[in-house]
Structure 1
């Protein structure tokens, strides 16, 4: 039979998944920002030629 009451590691798992989600979102946004900067640099270099 399953135990009744609160899950053993419910809070820790929720906190850990929240932190991992935050970390992945940060990495994704940094990657997108880097791509935009590179596009701007390439456009500037092409317009100078």
Structure 2
């Protein structure tokens, strides 16, 4: 029979998941902004030529 009450490390797992999600979102946002900056630079160089 399962134990009653709170899970042993449920809070730690939840916190860890939250932090990993935050990290992945930050990396995704940085990647998108970098791609947009590169596109803008390429577009400006093509316009000048």
Shared topology, TM-score over 0.5? yes
Residue 24 of structure 1 and its aligned partner are, at CA, apart by 0.1
- Moved runs in structure 1, 4+ residues, more than 6 A? none
Question: RMSD between aligned alpha carbons?
Answer: 0.3
Question: For residue 10 of structure 1, what is the aligned residue in structure 2?
Answer: 10
How much does 1:31 deviate?
0.1
After TM superposition, the structure 1 = structure 2 runs for residues 1-49 of structure 1, keeping only pairs within 5 Å, are 1-49=1-49
Rounded to whole Å, the distance in 1 between the matches of 2:3 and 2:17 is 23
Q: TM-score, normalised by structure 1?
A: 0.99
The structural deviation recorded for 1:41 is: 0.1
Any unmatched runs of 5+ in structure 1? Answer: none
